[in-house]
């Protein structure tokens, strides 16, 4: 009997069955005790909605814009590393699903499929996420490649100067492609669908790096290079340099503090993303939805504020929008869909979130997503701005 998929959790359960353990755990885990990872989702559940009745619910629309680009709903696919290890050619499949649905897809620097691979399948909502490496020549070339691929925005990640301690990845010996240990081979042998897909693709390494860096031609070289390349000296001067080099829409990812949000405004960026890297960096940090209202209050009139972290439903998107987020990003949710069913799974994830968003909006008395504000939330259940003094 075929599995009936009705929510994102159904996709997660199916992905867990079909994706090798090291790659499933990579997507579905946080750092240290995973307290921030769990809080990202749990804190959404504390927020309660105000149901309204006898309101005309006809002609509803979730369409809006993110950094000036039209989107079918205020959702983008977040940049996620190793997406092509959740499912063969994963980045291409996810980009294709996003294009058809009308939402942006953001390709990670640490993707399996390259910028050029994905550009052939992505539409106008193709964005690229950049990590700052010590090799500035490589960064310049990456930016130029993103320009050549007609990426509509550059998403600069600021919260990964050093790598958080992720216990599951360490225990699993995470690598791409996977190390052929006895333990890994036994696990992969139980994932026939995944293995067959991987056997049929040539894309099994980091496509944006291998062949684009002198001396890095295979995974052995790559491991040594990446271990030394994330730049702990990253600063706001680098942001200014990248903005000039890029010249297009710039989104800064990883903002959790008001002072950093103000610096993001001063940098001239077009948007910032309130994000704790999905709870994968600083464990014990505030959840994204808790941090959002204070940042919106401080800089929301000066810059577009987006958020990610913990979104598993259209109701989560609705709550984030009510608290001032112009746009939201889903990472794990679409990865569950990808691991479960490939492109069809990503499409299913987007359909689920859209339907939940649309219905929730209607029940709360709104027909246009752009009119949704704090009036849809029950006072006393949602986080409010923190002010000094």
To the question of whether residue 60 is assigned a binding role by annotation, the answer is no
To the question of whether residue 310 is assigned a binding role by annotation, the answer is yes
Respond yes or no on whether the N-terminal peptide bond of residue 177 is cis (omega within 30° of 0).
Answer: yes
- How far is it, in rounded angstroms, from Cα 255 to Cα 372? 24
To the question of whether residue 80 is assigned a binding role by annotation, the answer is yes
To the question of whether residue 226 is assigned a binding role by annotation, the answer is no
Burial 26-41 (b: 16+ CB within 10 A, else e): bbbbbbbebbbbebbb
Q: Could you give the residue numbers annotated as active site?
A: 277
CB atoms within 10 A of CB 344: 14
- How far is it, in rounded angstroms, from Cα 35 to Cα 102? 33
To the question of whether residue 121 is assigned a binding role by annotation, the answer is no
Distances (CA, A) of 203 to 184, 198, 208, 224: 19, 8, 11, 20
To the question of whether residue 373 is assigned a binding role by annotation, the answer is no
Residue 72, phi then psi, degrees to nearest 5: -70, -25
To the question of whether residue 308 is assigned a binding role by annotation, the answer is yes
To the question of whether residue 328 is assigned a binding role by annotation, the answer is no
Distances (CA, A) of 274 to 62, 154, 198, 226, 269: 21, 16, 34, 26, 14
To the question of whether residue 26 is assigned a binding role by annotation, the answer is yes
- How far is it, in rounded angstroms, from Cα 85 to Cα 198? 8
To the question of whether residue 331 is assigned a binding role by annotation, the answer is yes
What's the chain's length in residues?
389
CA dihedral over 266, 271, 274, 278, signed as positive or negative: negative
To the question of whether residue 166 is assigned a binding role by annotation, the answer is yes
To the question of whether residue 38 is assigned a binding role by annotation, the answer is no
To the question of whether residue 311 is assigned a binding role by annotation, the answer is yes
DSSP secondary structure string for all residues of 31-95: STT-HHHHHHHHHHHT--B----S----S-B--EEETTEEESSSEEEPP-TTGGGTSTTHHHHHH
To the question of whether residue 312 is assigned a binding role by annotation, the answer is yes
To the question of whether residue 332 is assigned a binding role by annotation, the answer is yes
Going by the annotation, the residues of the binding site for FMN are 79-81, 108, 129, 157, 253, 275, 308-312, 331-332
Going by the annotation, the residues of the binding site are 26, 79-81, 108, 129, 131, 157, 166, 253, 275, 277, 280, 308-312, 331-332
Going by the annotation, the residues of the binding site for glyoxylate are 26, 131, 166, 277, 280
């Amino acid at each position: 009997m075929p599995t009936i998929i009705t929510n994102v959790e159904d996709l997660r359960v199916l992905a867990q069955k079909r994706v090798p353990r090291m790659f499933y755990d990579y997507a579905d885990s946080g750092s240290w005790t995973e307290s921030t990872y769990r809080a990202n989702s749990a804190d959404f559940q504390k927020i309660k909605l105000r149901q309204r009745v006898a309101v005309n619910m006809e002609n509803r629309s979730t369409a809006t814009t993110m950094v000036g680009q039209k989107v079918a709903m205020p959702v983008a696919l977040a940049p996620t590393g190793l997406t092509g290890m959740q499912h063969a050619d994963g980045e291409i499949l996810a980009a294709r699903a996003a294009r058809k649905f009308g939402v942006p897809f953001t390709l990670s620097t640490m993707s399996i499929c390259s910028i050029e691979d994905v550009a052939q399948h992505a539409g106008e909502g193709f964005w690229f996420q950049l990590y700052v490496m010590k090799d500035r020549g490589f960064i310049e070339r990456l930016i130029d490649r993103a320009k050549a691929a007609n990426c509509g925005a550059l998403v600069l990640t600021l919260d990964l100067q050093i790598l958080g301690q992720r216990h599951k990845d360490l225990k699993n010996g995470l690598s791409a492609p996977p190390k052929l240990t006895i333990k890994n081979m036994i696990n992969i042998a139980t994932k026939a669908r995944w293995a067959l897909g991987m056997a049929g693709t040539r894309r099994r390494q980091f496509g944006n790096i291998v062949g684009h860096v002198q001396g890095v031609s295979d995974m052995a070289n790559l491991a040594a290079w990446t271990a030394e390349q994330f730049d702990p000296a990253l600063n706001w001067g680098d942001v200014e340099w990248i903005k000039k080099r890029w010249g297009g829409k710039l989104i800064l990812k990883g903002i959790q503090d008001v002072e950093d949000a103000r610096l993001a405004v001063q940098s001239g960026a077009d948007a910032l993303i309130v994000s704790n890297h999905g709870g994968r960096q600083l464990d014990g940090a505030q959840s994204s939805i808790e941090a959002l209202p204070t940042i919106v209050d401080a800089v929301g009139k000066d810059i577009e504020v987006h958020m990610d972290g913990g979104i598993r439903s259209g109701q989560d998107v609705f709550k984030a929008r009510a608290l001032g987020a112009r746009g939201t990003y889903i990472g794990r949710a679409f990865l569950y869909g990808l691991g479960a069913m490939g492109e069809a799974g990503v499409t299913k994830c987007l359909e689920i979130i859209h339907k939940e968003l649309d219905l929730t909006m209607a029940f709360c008395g709104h027909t246009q997503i752009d009119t949704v504000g704090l009036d849809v939330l029950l006072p006393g259940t949602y986080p409010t701005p923190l002010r000094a003094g």
